[in-house]
């Protein structure tokens, strides 16, 4: 008998014929503690989403069955991380856990100096305040909500220099996180290098659908920016996931470990902001890492104003210990293969069902293409926001809008930004859900897809000034 080996690579399903029998792999852990989740009735969910103004951020977690809102702070810590929690040294200054964290960052990421922060946006705030001047431009490979806002609050203007393929949900480019070097150089020539404090380079680009940047592209970006003396600041929130995709899909890297590739990425940059609630699987935490001593000195001075002393920056000692351990776990090859593998499993099944999802499948979630899912709804009827609430009503699965609501308004004209990508993100927390949960999610999305013609859009009835997607409220259009 000829067996099949099914291999998932960049979301592409390949069936190879080999004389071997098919062998499955499973999660590299067993479950030691469980947290019950409860199913609700359709009527209860209908009431809950109405009370939440059709915004999944405003639902109570008790009303959620499978929570795919985010992979941020929602992952399962290991027994070692929990053991680390008990080793918290809660001294105000000079906690032992800070030095362990600093050592882990230096060892795995290679950055010299570390400023802990309460989470990623704390680091974004500090780097923006110390590097951006009024009227500056910050080119980046697609915006992220909090990152862009901090750049703007510091007087800067974000400029998207990601490759065009990233804005096309059906384009199968394996590295849609790549920077378009022509766009970047054109901006430098137009505004002048002195107006560009740094290039904001994200790994596993969130808003593009969890899409990686290649090392070839990062090296070329480095060469170009060095020519003009512009540093690169790395949003390293999901760097291990990006490194895994490089290992799978970039020539010359198949035999390198994820740990080695992570280090190579970081070595091509000058500093980084980290939301440690993702890759390193802690519930709270983040940091700013830098190689330049002068900048570090300024950042360390600023952290005491906004976050806390420079040896805790808003984190408890115990959280820093769990983070130090999580950094090491995040680059382990069996862990990262299972983590991305689970996301790709769900993505592959939905693709086979004919549901429109962003291709290739990203690393931290499956992104539904709401424009194609609900083609009868124009973007001002918030198709992704609508779809997220319909999936919740169907099954209690909570997802997140990543479209016109997240994109906000243009600071100058006051109009909605209408991004090409109008997406619903089914974000998978690390080590939390089983394959059976993935099947429930798949069936719910399928059920909503079958009834898509009957779905009506939403109208916004409350809009907060900043990061409106978190707290905006909507009403169903009749
Ligand atoms: N950068 C990226 C790429 C992120 O995904 C996030 C958070 C941040 C920065 C900000 O970090 O939340 O710790 O302050 N993303 C979460 C998400 C909220 O659901 O994607 P934070």
To test the pocket of ligand 1, the residue of 116, 117, 123, 146 to mutate (highest count of ligand atoms within 8 Å of its CB) is 146
Can you tell me the distance from the alpha carbon of 66 to that of 53, in angstroms, rounded to the nearest whole number?
Answer: 20
Of 277, 398, 402, 430, which residue is the catalytic one?
Answer: 402
Considering the domain architecture, whether residues 242 and 339 belong to the same structural domain is answered as: no
Q: Token digits for 16?
A: 């190879």
* 69 falls within a domain: no
pLDDT at residue 9 is higher than 70? no
pLDDT at residue 17 is higher than 50? no
pLDDT at residue 3 is higher than 60? no
> Residue 24: which pLDDT band, with cuts at 50, 70 and 90?
confident
Can 287 be counted among the known catalytic residues?
A: no
Cα 204 to ligand 1 centroid, rounded to whole Å: 12
Which atom belonging to ligand 1 lies closest to the Cα atom of 71? Answer: 19
Which pLDDT belongs to residue 424?
98
Can 92 be counted among the known catalytic residues?
A: yes
Considering the domain architecture, whether residues 275 and 316 belong to the same structural domain is answered as: yes
Considering the domain architecture, whether residues 59 and 100 belong to the same structural domain is answered as: no
CATH of the domain at 439: 3.90.1150.10
Considering the domain architecture, whether residues 371 and 432 belong to the same structural domain is answered as: yes
Of 92, 418, 462, 470, which residue is the catalytic one?
Answer: 92
Cα 5 to ligand 1 centroid, rounded to whole Å: 35
Cα 335 to ligand 1 centroid, rounded to whole Å: 21
102: number of CA atoms within 13 Å, CB side? Answer: 18
Q: Measuring CA to CA, which residue among 144, 126, 90, 138 is closest to residue 287? A: 126
**C-beta 277 within 6 A of ligand 1:** yes
Considering the domain architecture, whether residues 282 and 356 belong to the same structural domain is answered as: no
Question: 411 with 317: CB under 8 angstroms?
Answer: no
Which pLDDT belongs to residue 150?
98
Instruction: Give the pLDDT confidence of 133-186 residue by residue, as tens digits.
Output: 999 999 999 999 999 999 999 999 999 999 999 999 999 999 999 999 999 999
> Residue 478: which pLDDT band, with cuts at 50, 70 and 90?
confident
Considering the domain architecture, whether residues 286 and 340 belong to the same structural domain is answered as: no
Cα 362 to ligand 1 centroid, rounded to whole Å: 16
Burial class (CB in 10 A: 0-12, 13-18, 19+), 69: buried
Which pLDDT belongs to residue 22?
83
* 72 falls within a domain: no
**Sign of the dihedral defined by the CA atoms of residues 165, 169, 170, 176, in that order:** positive
Can 144 be counted among the known catalytic residues?
A: yes
To test the pocket of ligand 1, the residue of 237, 319, 403, 466 to mutate (highest count of ligand atoms within 8 Å of its CB) is 237
**C-beta 235 within 6 A of ligand 1:** yes
Question: 249 with 10: CB under 8 angstroms?
Answer: yes
**C-beta 74 within 6 A of ligand 1:** no
Can you tell me the distance from the alpha carbon of 86 to that of 391, in angstroms, rounded to the nearest whole number?
Answer: 39
* Residue span of the structural domain in which 366 resides: 5-64+333-476
Instruction: Give the pLDDT confidence of 298-326 residue by residue, as tens digits.
Output: 999 999 999 999 999 999 999 999 999 99
Cα 344 to ligand 1 centroid, rounded to whole Å: 21
Instruction: Give the pLDDT confidence of 341-384 residue by residue, as tens digits.
Output: 999 999 999 999 999 999 999 999 999 999 999 999 999 999 99
* 34 falls within a domain: yes
**C-beta 206 within 6 A of ligand 1:** yes
Of 145, 147, 225, 269, which residue is the catalytic one?
Answer: 145
Instruction: Give the pLDDT confidence of 392-449 residue by residue, as tens digits.
Output: 999 999 999 999 999 999 888 999 999 999 999 999 999 999 999 999 999 999 999 9
Instruction: Give the pLDDT confidence of 52-77 residue by residue, as tens digits.
Output: 999 999 999 999 999 999 999 999 99
**C-beta 70 within 6 A of ligand 1:** yes
* 289 falls within a domain: yes
Of 65, 108, 144, 287, which residue is the catalytic one?
Answer: 144
Q: Which residue has a Cα nearest atom 13 of ligand 1?
A: 120
**C-beta 359 within 6 A of ligand 1:** no
* 224 falls within a domain: yes
Which atom belonging to ligand 1 lies closest to the Cα atom of 205? Answer: 3
φ, ψ for residue 47, nearest 5 deg: -65, -45
**C-beta 72 within 6 A of ligand 1:** yes
| Domain final residue pick, 330, 348, 383 | 330
Can you tell me the distance from the alpha carbon of 413 to that of 447, in angstroms, rounded to the nearest whole number?
Answer: 40
pLDDT at residue 2 is higher than 70? no
- Partners of residue 17 on adjacent β-strands: 4
Q: Measuring CA to CA, which residue among 70, 71, 66, 69 is closest to residue 396? A: 66
16-25, 124-133, 351-360: least confident range: 16-25
Which pLDDT belongs to residue 55?
98
Can 402 be counted among the known catalytic residues?
A: yes
Considering the domain architecture, whether residues 165 and 242 belong to the same structural domain is answered as: yes
3-state secondary structure the chain: CCEEEEEEECCEEEEEEECCCCCCCCCCCCCCCCCCCCCCCHHHHHHHHHHCCCCHHHCCHHHCCEECCCCCCCCCCCHHHHHHHCCCCCCCCCCHHHHHHHHHHHHHCCCCEEEEECCHHHHHHHHHHHHCCCCCEEEECCCCHHHHHHHHHCCCEEEECECHHHHCCCCCCCCCCCECHHHHHHHHHHHCHHHCCCEEEECCECCCCCECCCHHHHHHHHHHHHHCCCCEEEECCCHHHHHHHHHHHCCCCCCCCHHHHHHHHHHCCCEEEEECCCCCCCCCCEEEEECCHHHHHHHHHHHHHHCCCCCCCCCCHHHHHHHHHHHHHHCCHHHHHHHHHHHHHHHHHHHHCCCCECCCCCCCEEEEEHHHHCCCCCHHHCHHHHHHHHHHHHHCEECEEECHHHHCECCCCCCECCCCCCEEEEECCCCCCCHHHHHHHHHHHHHHHHCHHHCCCEEEEECCCCCHHHCCEEEECC
* 309 falls within a domain: yes
CATH of the domain at 276: 3.40.640.10
* 73 falls within a domain: no
Query: Hey, how many other C-beta atoms are within 10 angstroms of the C-beta on 79?
Result: 10
**C-beta 120 within 6 A of ligand 1:** yes
Considering the domain architecture, whether residues 57 and 194 belong to the same structural domain is answered as: no
Mean pLDDT of 244-256: 98
Mean pLDDT of 225-251: 98
* 13 falls within a domain: yes
Considering the domain architecture, whether residues 197 and 238 belong to the same structural domain is answered as: yes
Question: 93 with 448: CB under 8 angstroms?
Answer: no
| Count: domains in the chain | 2
**C-beta 125 within 6 A of ligand 1:** no
Considering the domain architecture, whether residues 119 and 253 belong to the same structural domain is answered as: yes
Which pLDDT belongs to residue 19?
59
Considering the domain architecture, whether residues 326 and 343 belong to the same structural domain is answered as: no
- What is the bridge-based pairing of β-strands 423-427 and 365-369? antiparallel
pTM for the complete prediction?
0.94
Residue with tokens 């809660």: 90
The torsion of the CA quartet 262, 263, 268, 274, rounded to 10 degrees, works out to 60
Which pLDDT belongs to residue 1?
33
Mean pLDDT of 97-109: 98
Can 65 be counted among the known catalytic residues?
A: no
Considering the domain architecture, whether residues 339 and 321 belong to the same structural domain is answered as: no
Q: Decide which of 104 and 16 is more confident.
A: 104
Q: Measuring CA to CA, which residue among 213, 156, 151 is closest to residue 179? A: 213
| Domain final residue pick, 304, 330, 356 | 330
Can 469 be counted among the known catalytic residues?
A: yes
| Domain final residue pick, 299, 330, 361 | 330
Residue with tokens 């929130």: 237
Question: 98 with 317: CB under 8 angstroms?
Answer: yes
Which atom belonging to ligand 1 lies closest to the Cα atom of 400? Answer: 19
């Amino acid at each position: 008998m000829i067996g099949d080996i099914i291999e998932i690579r960049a979301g592409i399903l390949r069936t190879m014929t080999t004389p071997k029998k098919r062998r499955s792999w499973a999660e590299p852990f067993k479950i030691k503690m469980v947290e019950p989740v409860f199913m609700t009735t359709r009527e209860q969910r209908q009431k809950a989403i109405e009370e939440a103004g059709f915004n999944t951020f405003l639902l109570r977690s008790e009303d959620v069955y499978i929570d795919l809102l985010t992979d941020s702070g929602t992952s399962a810590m290991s027994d070692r991380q929990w053991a680390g929690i008990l080793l918290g040294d809660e001294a105000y200054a000079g906690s032992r856990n800070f030095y362990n964290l600093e050592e882990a960052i230096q060892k795995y990421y290679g950055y010299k100096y570390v400023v802990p922060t309460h989470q990623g946006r704390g680091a974004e705030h500090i780097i923006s305040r110390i590097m951006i001047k009024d009227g500056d431009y910050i080119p980046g490979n697609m915006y992220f909500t909090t990152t862009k806002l901090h750049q703007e609050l510091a007087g800067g203007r974000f400029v998207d220099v990601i490759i065009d393929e990233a804005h096309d949900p059906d384009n199968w480019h394996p590295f849609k996180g790549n920077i378009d070097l022509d766009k970047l150089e054109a901006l430098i020539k137009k505004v002048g290098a002195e107006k560009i404090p740094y290039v904001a380079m994200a790994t596993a680009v969130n808003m593009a659908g969890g899409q990686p940047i290649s090392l070839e592209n990062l090296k070329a970006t480095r060469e170009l920016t060095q020519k003009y003396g512009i540093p690169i600041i790395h949003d390293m929130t999901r760097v291990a996931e990006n490194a895994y995709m490089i290992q799978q899909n970039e020539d010359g890297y198949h035999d390198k470990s994820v740990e080695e590739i992570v280090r190579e990425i970081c070595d091509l940059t000058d500093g980084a902001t980290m939301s440690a609630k993702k890759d390193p699987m802690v519930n709270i935490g983040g940091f700013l890492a830098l190689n330049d001593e002068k900048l570090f000195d300024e950042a360390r001075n600023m952290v005491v104003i906004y976050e806390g002393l420079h040896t805790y920056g808003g984190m408890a000692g115990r959280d820093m210990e769990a983070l130090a351990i999580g950094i090491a776990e995040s680059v382990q090859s069996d862990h990262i293969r299972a983590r991305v593998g689970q996301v790709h499993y769900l993505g592959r099944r939905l693709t086979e069902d004919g549901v429109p999802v962003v291709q290739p499948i990203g690393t931290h979630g499956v992104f539904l293409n709401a424009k194609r899912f609900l083609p009868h709804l124009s973007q001002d009827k918030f198709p992704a926001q609508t779809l997220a609430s319909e999936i919740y009503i169907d099954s209690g699965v909570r997802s997140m809008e990543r479209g016109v609501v997240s994109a906000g308004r243009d600071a100058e004209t006051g109009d909605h930004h209408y991004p090409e990508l109008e997406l619903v993100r089914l974000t998978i927390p690390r080590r939390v859900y089983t394959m059976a949960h993935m099947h429930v999610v798949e069936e719910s999305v399928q059920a909503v897809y079958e009834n898509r013609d009957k779905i009506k859009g939403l109208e916004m009835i409350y809009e907060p000034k900043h990061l409106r997607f978190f707290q905006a409220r909507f009403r169903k259009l009749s």
